[in-house]
Amino acid sequence: MAQTSALPPHRWRGADALVRSLQAAGVRVVFTLSGNHIMSVYDALLGSGIELVHTRHEAAAVHMADAWARLTGEVGVALVTGGPGHANAVGALYTARMAESPVLLLSGHAPLSQLGQGAFQEMRQAALAEPLTKAAWVCRAADQLPGDLARAVQLARSGRPGPVHLSLPSDALELQTPQQPPPEASAFAPVPQPLAADAAQTLLAALQRAQRPLILVGPASWDRAGRARCAALQAACGVPVIGMESPRGLADPSLGALAELLPRCDTVLLLGKPLDFTLKFGRAPGWTADTAWLQVDAELEELTRAQRNIGASLRFSAHADTRSAIDSLTALAQAQPAAARPQRAAWGQGVQQAIDYRPPAWVEAVSGQADRLHPAQALRPLQAVLDSHPDAVFIADGGEIGQWAQACLQAPHRLINGVAGAIGASLPMALAARRAVPGAPVIAVMGDGTFGFHMAEIDTAVRCGLPLVAVVGNDARWNAEHQIQLKDYGAQRLIGCELRATRYDLVCAALGGHGELVTEPGQLMPAVQRALASGLPACVNVQISSVAAPQIRRPAPA
């Protein structure tokens, strides 16, 4: 909700300098939960024009900032109090880090003047956040707040984007400081790491020599704007460009049957995509020993790690940020005469057909249990809602249900829990999505376990007027873990995965939202339409059968 008081503070504090710097950085929304250490920042935000979205849990504030960053391309800002408030927020940084999302976590902090004396909620906050961020530090003086903020925003946006943490000691915020202009816009801008011209020529030449090449990009290049840049690169060089953002990696169901083609691939260019577990570390059986690897990355340690993983198979590497590399390669390829471009239409078509493949049996899939839907039955009809608006937002979270959702649905804006493999972010993300993309349908698909993480954010959505539709696939268990136990240990050794078939629709209604229960296929779309029409945060609680995530394989040729 926007803050409207127009009275400036009677004196200029560190908190006022911080807020002025947030304005200079172009920050429009701050996702926050109040607390002692940051009350001066709240006071300074009055009349600033920066909107506050008050959450019910600090981790939810970080997830909202993460979604905001992915959808808008801006830095997403979360503001929490120190000590336990900071500790609550830190866990959510891992999802943002693995999603390559430029998030800034601002945490209140015990006063500098009392450190080491047992100050209230004193904690080594930067040390706690450091493993999950690109950088984390404590501001040391009121007059350093503007510079520290600019540095944090710039770091979050530069190279491989990611979260940054800045701790704000309460005395630095509250003490009077000389008024000074905020940092210039350039201080917040990402620092480019351009791809050298000779490196671009080497990479393009290697791709042109290949018969069956692929270009793989990471999550930061697979938002809506990134997909457009990748499509331009693919059109210019004739090489399929594929985004990878799922912890299932090569088995990502949204990539269809792509994995079956990878042993035929002779050259792979990694554009900001780490050579990690999602790619089976570049080794058999997912890849052959003859596959030639090329790599461009903003982080030298990623280049070193790839060399360590695959040795001489890494034929060439270059240090540059992904966006600069995509733009350079696209321009270089577009400048070549059309006659000089390799003709690989059959390979490109085969890759796309593999990605698009879904088993025909899904169309007729039904649940074998009474009063329950198969996940495909519960999800496929939602595509009509996502197709109804050019800015529709689709969010997927949870274990097996999240994988079914990613396989069945697509939308102009897509948010998933990402390479981190953590669950629980989808409901907070849906709130941020509604604020970032007003007017478009926001459909968040999640499991019943996931809904339980942040169900109180329905209250936040009601207070802030943020309608959304949460489709909860309710199989009354932690199904991903249930499936692991079933496969690895057998049906007689299932433990610790059962939940109750809770009426999450009634929970939503009790918090001021709209609730629907679905137990039959014919009930689904009328329930979703009523949820959309309600103008409220809504939960469509769909009773589903407990089935494993999809494993997509095309039948062998006859």
Report pLDDT digits (tens) over 283-340.
Answer: 988 899 999 999 999 999 999 999 999 999 999 999 999 999 999 999 999 998 877 6
Judge contact between 169 and 138, C-beta under 8 A: yes
Residue 429 has pLDDT above 80, yes or no: yes
Same domain, yes or no: 245 and 327? yes
Instruction: Tell me what pLDDT residue 121 has.
Output: 85
More confident residue, 42 or 8: 42
Tell me: do 340 and 372 sit in the same domain: no
pLDDT at 37 over 80: yes
3-state secondary structure 91-115: HHHHHHHHCCCCEEEEEEECCHHHC
Residues 147, 266, single domain; the answer is no
Q: How much is the pLDDT for 3?
A: 44
Nearest Cα neighbor of 454 from 477, 421, 427 is: 427
What band does 53 get if pLDDT is binned at 50, 70 and 90? very high
Where are the alpha helices (H) located in 194-321, listed in sequence order?
197-209, 224-237, 300-310
Amino acid at 479: N
* pLDDT tens profile 248-286: 998 899 999 999 999 999 999 999 999 999 999 999 888
351, 365: one domain: no
Flag whether 558 is in a domain.
Answer: no
User: Are 372 and 286 within one domain?
Assistant: no
Amino acid residing at 353? Q
Average pLDDT taken over every residue of the chain: 94
**Domain that residue 284 falls in:** 197-356
| Residue where a domain stops, chosen among 308, 341, 356 | 356
- Pull the structure tokens for residue 376: 């495909």
Contacts of 219 (CB under 8 A, 6+ apart): 98, 99, 100, 101, 243, 244, 245, 418, 419
126 by DSSP, 3-state: which?
A: helix
pLDDT value for 186 = 95
Report the alpha-carbon distance of residue 8 to residue 2 in Å, rounded.
Answer: 16
pLDDT of residue 7: 40
Report the predicted TM-score, pTM, of the whole model to 2 decimal places: 0.95
Q: Largest Cα–Cα distance of the chain, in whole Å?
A: 81
Is 274 among the domain residues? yes
- Which has the closest alpha carbon to 253: 155, 100, 376, 140? 376
Cα 402 to Cα 255: distance, rounded to the nearest angstrom:
14
Model confidence at 343, pLDDT cuts 50, 70, 90, reads confident
- Indicate whether 553 belongs to any domain: no
Looking at the structure, do residues 448 and 495 belong to the same domain, yes or no? yes
Please give the distance of CA 501 from its chain centroid, rounded to a whole number: 29
372 and 352 within one domain: no
Domain presence at residue 4? no
Same domain, 526 and 377: yes
Does residue 552 lie in a domain region?
Answer: no
Domain end position, chosen among 166, 187, 208: 187
Residue 4 has pLDDT above 70, yes or no: no
Q: Residue 7: inside a domain, yes or no? A: no
Q: Distance between CA atoms of 168 and 108, rounded to whole angstroms?
A: 5
Whether 289 is in a domain gets the answer yes
CA 514 – CA 430 distance, rounded (Å):
15
Which residue type does 140 have? R
Residue in the block written with tokens 């201080």: 187
- pLDDT, mean of residues 368-381: 94
Please check whether residues 452 and 391 belong to one and the same domain: yes
Domain co-membership, 437 together with 292: no
Whichever domain contains 105, its CATH number is: 3.40.50.970
**Beta pairing partners, 77:** 30, 104
In total, how many domains does the chain have? Answer: 3
Same domain? 40 vs 164: yes
What pLDDT does residue 337 have?
83
Q: How far apart, in whole angstroms, are the C-alpha atoms of residue 67 and residue 444?
A: 12
User: Which residue is it, tokens 């088995």?
Assistant: 251
Look at residue 437 and tell me if it is in a domain: yes
Span 178-193, pLDDT tens digits: 998 999 999 999 999 9
Instruction: Decide if pLDDT at 341 tops 80.
Output: no
CATH number at residue 238: 3.40.50.1220
Q: Are residues 291 and 324 in the same domain?
A: yes
Mean pLDDT of 380-407: 95
Record the tokens describing residue 49, joined without a space: 């024009």
Omega cis (within 30) before 194:
no
Identify the pLDDT of residue 558.
57
pLDDT attached to residue 409: 97
Are 287 and 263 within 8 A, CB to CB? yes
Q: Residue 74's pLDDT is what? A: 97
* Residue finishing a domain among 356, 386, 412: 356
